Amino acid sequence: MNYNDIDEARKLLGLDESATIREIKDSYRRLAK
């Protein structure tokens, strides 16, 4: 993953700029259920 991938994931998941990789993964998993 590069910065652009992480930034895009944050935007798609509605997370702010300070979201960690862990928060991004947790948010994705909640949506995927």
pLDDT at 27 (0 to 100)? 97
Domain ranges of the chain: 3-32
Q: Given this model, what pLDDT does residue 1 score?
A: 80
Q: How far apart are CA 3 and CA 22, in angstroms?
A: 15
pTM for the model: 0.79
DSSP letter (8 states) at residue 1 = -
One pLDDT digit (tens) per residue for the chain, 33 residues: 899 999 999 999 999 999 999 999 999 999 998
Query: What is the predicted pLDDT for the residue at 30?
Result: 96
Q: What is the pLDDT of residue 16?
A: 95
Q: Which amino acid is at 16?
A: D
Give the integer Cα–Cα distance in Å for 22 and 5.
14
Q: Answer left, alpha or beta for residue 14, where phi above 0 means left and psi between -120 and 50 means alpha.
A: left
